[in-house]
Amino acid sequence: MNASEYKENSSAQGQENCNISHSVVDMVLSSLYFLIFVPALLLNVTVMWVLLRLKTKTTFMVYLKNLVAVDLLMTLTVPVKAASELPGAALGLRVFTCRFSSVIFYYCMYISIILMGIISLDRFFKIVRPCGSMPGQSLLFGWAVSIATWVVLLGGSALPTMVLTSRTPLDNSPSSAWK
């Protein structure tokens, strides 16, 4: 929860005067986002580099490569969110974050959750049928499921959300782009 959401929630609950400086909270959270971004980017790029050098022989590797790709994409949205949380951030940056960066962040989060579920199912079937092969354990099936996950979520949630959040903000307040 960012400071503007906290401020709105506390106002709605009649707790406006709680002696919290929202600009300080925004500054601290933005600083933490920026600090977390650097190691996250380095680690994600390293893992991606290692995985791209490994041959894809199993569905597990297909799903894992997709998981790392989506995690890297999610990591790239963090500095934009951090910059938009800073006090005095430009309205254009906040609108961009609302319309695109946050949507991509949640799109990536949903894909990650689905891919981890698919990896769990894949591991379950490998344990249940260790010697036999099931139709869902072919590389072609793994790639098809991964691509379908990306496309269905993009078409079903990300693009409509980007289109539906294209309203012009009413004023320069941080929360106006989100209403």
Taking residues 25-53, what's their average pLDDT?
91
- The pLDDT value recorded for residue 41 is 95
Q: Which residues contact 170 (CB under 8 A, 6 or more apart)?
A: 176, 179
Within the chain, strands assigned E span none
- Number of residues that this document lists for the chain: 179
Which domains does the chain show, CATH number per domain? 19-178 (1.20.1070.10)
27-36 confidence digits (pLDDT tens): 888 889 899 9
Residue 161 or residue 63, greater confidence: 63
Buried-exposed string 22-49: b where 16+ CB fall within 10 A, e elsewhere: eeebbeebbeebeeebeebeeebeebee
Enter the tokens of residue 133.
């092969």
pTM: 0.76
Does the pLDDT at position 154 exceed 80? yes
Q: Identify the band that residue 71 occupies on the pLDDT scale cut at 50, 70 and 90.
A: very high
- For residue 6, the model assigns a pLDDT of 52
- Is the pLDDT at 37 greater than 80, yes or no? yes
Residue 179: the pLDDT is: 44
